[in-house]
Amino acid sequence: MPDKTLMQTWAARARAVLPAGGFGNFDPSIFIREGKGSRIWDEDGREYVDYLIGSGPMLLGHGHPEVLEAVAEQLPKGMTFFANNAAGVELAEEICRAVSCAEQVRFLSSGGEADMYAMRLARAFTGRDKILKFEGGYHGMSAEAQMSLAPTQLVNFPQAVPDSAGIPEAVRGEMLIAPFNDLDYLESLLAEYGDRVAGIIVEPLQRIIPPAPGFLEGVRALCDRYGIVLIFDEVVTGFRFAYGGAQEAYGVTPDLCTLGKIIGGGFPLAAVAGRKPIMDHFDKAIVGPEKWLMMLGTLSGNPVAAVAGLKTMEILRRTGAFDTLRSHGERLQSMFRRHLDAAGVPHRIVGHPTLFDVVFVDREVRTYRDVLAADQKKNGRFNAVLRENGVFKSPGKVYPSLALTEADFELTELAVQRAAAAIA
């Protein structure tokens, strides 16, 4: 028998010490050795154009020299202190300048933590218990977020379906589930439950599904009518759709938003940002012990992530950065569409130029259930052929980056052409 490859060797070692042989994030058979610019290399030395970009944070590409320089300057001064640091304050100031809803910021280490605290803030501020989310919306790994994230059992709304073991039944009773992009249903649901709902949490772009015209505006109006805290989960869309995120792109301002990925420049960092009267619940001196929301995090706002985020955001403020990013995405979307059309494969390109994917379905995609109805075998084969031909992406998203080159587009086009032919 031939010797094992390095990736096979690492996979065997991983299975011995990691549940399911991985970190829980991605295909556990893949081990990435390094990344530079728009490319990554696996442990067997295979090279790919990277459209996963760490699940979103590496918008500038891997190892951007200016970010590396900022981090290298910080490292000898200290990596974390569990105390305030100036870079963290500067980062909070820049978020408040950029993001419409942000009057104050509290840092955390992950987007899932930020979403959990945002829902808790809504409860603290309103004195209500119920949270409403949309079926298929991803908001981290808290008990509330793991309701109807990816249900295979499609039940009647607003019943919640837990996606994980270990969640108390009581949590289900405090969650309401609605279909994304259905304003009429949401209005009827709030007519019954509105005075008991603390917050509505929504991805402005739900995974890859865009909001229908008027949907986010309608959600905002309903939250105002019933005194509900509107939370935009902008962990993915923040500083990607535009410098001010999806709330800038769509022209709708929430009460709170959550941020992550890009604001840490590739290091663990996230934030809750929002209106001061709500954020005051982090300040015991203002709201008192009964309404105070305790929050601690060993690495929250650490200076290494803060300087990486500050430099990343400085680069994104430069003239033409977002025009270039959108242009890259539009070119990729056109490429996918052209070759799938030529192969006669029914599909929809769904999302935003800065974040999208192909859904193998012959109808408009407006909700989670539309995505669930897609041809998953074609999706799996299509992505497998892309990877065989040097294109690395997640099973459900394409993340363009600013680091893409003409050579990357040429390689990608050939891979897409071959993948389309393979599923025709």
Q: Which residues are catalytic?
A: 138, 233, 261
| Euclidean distance between the first and the last CA atom of the chain, given in angstroms as a whole number | 35
β-pairing, 197-202 with 229-234?
A: parallel
DSSP secondary structure string for all residues of 24-60: SSS-TT--EEEEEBTEEEETT--EEEESSGGGTT-TT
**What's phi and psi for 404, nearest 5 deg?**
-60, 140
Tokens coding 268? 């663990």
CA dihedral 284, 285, 288, 293 (to 10 degrees): -10
C-alpha–C-alpha distance, residues 162 and 57, integer Å: 28
User: Residue 386 CB: number of other CB atoms within 10 A?
Assistant: 23
**What's phi and psi for 170, nearest 5 deg?**
-60, -30
* Burial class for 279, CB neighbours closer than 10 Å (0-12, 13-18, 19+): buried
- What are the counts of helices (DSSP H) followed by strands (DSSP E) for the chain? 15, 13
DSSP letter, residue 194: G
